[in-house]
Amino acid sequence: MTDNNLFTIIPYQDRLLKFTEAKSARAYFKNHYIDLITGESHEFEIEGWIETLKFKVIDQKNDLRVMHLFYELGFFFENLSEEILSTDMLAIDIEYTKFHHYDQLAGTHKINLSLIDAPHFQEYKEKFDSGYRELTEGNCYQFNLTGEYRYSFDEDFSPEDFISALWKNQVLRGAYGSATYCGHLDKMFLSNSPECLFQYSKGTLLTRPIKGTLKRVSSSSREIAKLWHDLRHDKKSEGELYMITDLLRNDLCRIDLPRAIVTKKKAPLLVPGLIHQYSEIQVELSDEVTLKNILEKIFPGGSITGAPKKRVMQILKKLESRARGFYCGSTIVFSEHAIEASINIRSSVIDFENSTLSYQAGGGITLLSEVKSEFEEMTYKHDSYIDILTL
């Protein structure tokens, strides 16, 4: 039995593009994959799929390919395969044959969500304190602590209802958003991400890490100017950004040639309900660089792990005691002349079989962090996404 109810929708300029009619689609785990067209499961080692990524990025021609890399795949690239469970989904790789503009955003249902579970301050504080001890003992310099919110919803909602709710207002669409519905899993992976893991075009690769967040209530120039003044003079946020910028500059240098440069040291980014700051780092790559070369050096993104990355990932595994999955992973979209990869923040997994939605959020912790303000920042990032879905 085959199932053609498999699609991806992405924001593109002022439109939405819908990819359909997949010729190949697989969800990869550590020791098997699920064929998302037939629903069949096959024994398979994840290393086999990783080897298929050894194609030169300068030669890639496929303009209808979408990959979702899940956070736990990063343990493989950091030589920590023992941290990966057999039940952890690691990647979804889909090659489509058709695409068209998607305009079906009017007349949809209002999304109603009922909260099942959310991070509690006391539990968050215990994890914060444990991680903070790692900072004071010199085991890391920054770690990105996250929490999970779980909701239930009316079982009659369709994938299109959620997509329309999230993206009906063009101004609120994330620059690196994506929505993939897999019929055989009966799940949708829905992201409104504003953050770039990397962009590659014509031999140049860049990344734009986000660090630092303030809540905003309007789009007035006066409020934005005040918030940006406050954010760019905040020493804790500045320290976070510069630390991760240095980490990523080093990551980019390790890909190929040691000449990565910081092209933007600190710049503002407006997203729904928030103002962030980000930096930009660029590196020129030789014609021999493969996608595998890039991913094994920069995935998962330093802004959602911390520094040093490998040690922090081990610390976070103990602190969070759950899989991040799609959240904090990356969605890679191939076009004829470029490759764009997100960091999947402002992202949810919607399970239609069980009528539940999982959303995760968090922030970077340094020695200058204060637990109450960090907990509040996590709730702001929650509101930035959930409010769009439900208002």
- Predicted confidence at residue 106, as pLDDT, reads 61
Which among 211, 236, 266, 381 is annotated as catalytic?
A: 211
Across 178-182, 199-203, 295-299, 315-319, least confident range: 199-203
d(CA 319, CA 118): 16
56-66: average pLDDT: 84
262-279: average pLDDT: 95
- Predicted confidence at residue 340, as pLDDT, reads 95
- Predicted confidence at residue 294, as pLDDT, reads 97
With CA atoms as reference, report the closest residue to 280 among 299, 260, 264: 264
Q: How confident is the model at residue 62 (pLDDT cuts 50, 70, 90)?
A: low
- Predicted confidence at residue 338, as pLDDT, reads 85
16-29: average pLDDT: 96
Sign of CA dihedral 165, 167, 173, 176: positive
Inform me whether the pLDDT recorded for 3 exceeds 70.
no
Q: Is 187 in the active site?
A: no
Tell me: the pLDDT tens digits for 113-167?
A: 999 999 999 999 999 999 999 999 999 999 999 999 999 998 789 999 999 999 9
For the chain, strand residue ranges (E) read: 6-12, 15-28, 32-35, 41-43, 65-69, 91-101, 113-117, 142-153, 178-182, 187-191, 195-201, 204-208, 210-215, 261-271, 274-284, 306-307, 330-334, 338-343, 347-351, 356-365
- Predicted confidence at residue 21, as pLDDT, reads 95
201-207: average pLDDT: 93
Answer with the residue of higher pLDDT: 249 or 336: 249
Inform me whether the pLDDT recorded for 280 exceeds 90.
yes
The residues near 135 (Cβ < 8 Å, ≥ 6 apart) are 141, 142, 143, 365, 366, 367
d(CA 111, CA 158): 10
Which among 160, 195, 280, 374 is annotated as catalytic?
A: 195
Tell me: the pLDDT tens digits for 78-98?
A: 999 999 999 999 999 999 999
End-to-end Cα, the chain, rounded Å: 39
286-302: average pLDDT: 96
Q: How confident is the model at residue 107 (pLDDT cuts 50, 70, 90)?
A: low
d(CA 198, CA 341): 5
Q: Is 320 in the active site?
A: no
Inform me whether the pLDDT recorded for 178 exceeds 70.
yes
Inform me whether the pLDDT recorded for 33 exceeds 90.
yes
Q: How confident is the model at residue 4 (pLDDT cuts 50, 70, 90)?
A: low
Inform me whether the pLDDT recorded for 1 exceeds 90.
no
Inform me whether the pLDDT recorded for 2 exceeds 70.
no
Note the helical H segments in the chain. Answer: 46-51, 73-77, 121-136, 159-167, 221-232, 235-255, 291-298, 309-320, 371-390
| Burial class of residue 97 in the structure, from the number of CB atoms within 10 Å of its CB (0-12 exposed, 13-18 middle, 19+ buried) | exposed
The rounded percent of the chain whose pLDDT value lies above 90 is 89
Name the architecture of domain 6-209+278-390.
Answer: 4-Layer Sandwich (3.60)
The rounded percent of the chain whose pLDDT value lies above 70 is 98
251-267: average pLDDT: 93
Tell me the average pLDDT of the chain: 94
How do strand 274-284 and strand 306-307 relate by DSSP bridges?
unpaired
Instruction: Give me 151's structure tokens.
Output: 């909701």
- Predicted confidence at residue 257, as pLDDT, reads 80
